Structure 1
Amino acid sequence: MSQNLSGTNDISKEKLMQDLQLVVSDAEELLRATAGQAGEKVSAARERIQDSLSAAKGRLADAEEAMLEKTREAARATDEYVHENPWRAVGIAAGVGLVVGMLISRGR
């Protein structure tokens, strides 16, 4: 299941980047259009920019919610593991602390 979520997040990130690139492209078109002209062309470009911004904001909100849910799931899984294996968790934490301490002392 974790692999499936990772694949979904990768696709969401790619889609978000595509949406943001579209916004940039539309903004550039608007700047070119307003450099010397006004009227229907500017209005159409502004409308596309607004649509692109709305889509990008929606995707960003969806990606943020998915990230928060994944974080909640990881926290729940960690909490369950620690409650089911308290001494193992303490041993792992002590081992990580020892390794970090050794690395820090080497750096001096």
Structure 2
Amino acid sequence: MSSSTTESAGNSTQTELENLVADLRSLIGRKELDAVPEIRALRDRMDAGIESVRVSAVRAAQEAARQAREAARVANDYAHDEPWRVAGAALAVGALVGFLLGRR
């Protein structure tokens, strides 16, 4: 999956989560519910939970990006250290795909 695809999926999920949170806030944020102590406690727990999820999501995204950069670096190093092996593998894959497409 490319970086832009990953970012797009992440943004879509984040947007959906933000919309869900906004809907929930509007539901329990009604002024007539202010007098109910349980609703206030629920709002506080929801705010704390949202912050916790946001922090966790940011950490997970940063870790995924770090791992992707590391994998790209390792692949780049390997390609520079073993160019003939990489070229041979690419040739083999290309021949296999050509063979499979030619059989159709």
TM-score band, normalised by shorter chain? 0.5 to 0.7
Aligned counterpart, 1:12 = none
Aligned counterpart, 2:79 = 82
In structure 1, distance between residues paired with 2:64 and 2:102: 35
Aligned counterpart, 2:11 = none
Structure 1 unmatched runs, 5+: 1-19
Aligned counterpart, 2:33 = 38
Deviation at 1:41, TM superposition (A): 1.5
Selected match of 1:66 from 63, 68, 93? 63
Q: Which runs of 4+ in 1 moved over 6 A?
A: none
Aligned counterpart, 1:52 = 49
Count of residue pairs the alignment pairs up: 80
For residues 50 and 103 of structure 1, do their structure 2 counterparts lie closer, same or farther at Cα, with a shift above 3 Å needed?
farther
The alignment's TM-score, normalised by the length of structure 2, stands at 0.63
Structure ranking higher on relative contact order (CA contacts 8 Å, 6+ apart): 1
For residues 44 and 105 of structure 1, do their structure 2 counterparts lie closer, same or farther at Cα, with a shift above 3 Å needed?
farther
Q: CA RMSD in A?
A: 2.8
Structure 2 unmatched runs, 5+: 1-16
For residues 38 and 73 of structure 1, do their structure 2 counterparts lie closer, same or farther at Cα, with a shift above 3 Å needed?
same
For residues 48 and 103 of structure 1, do their structure 2 counterparts lie closer, same or farther at Cα, with a shift above 3 Å needed?
farther
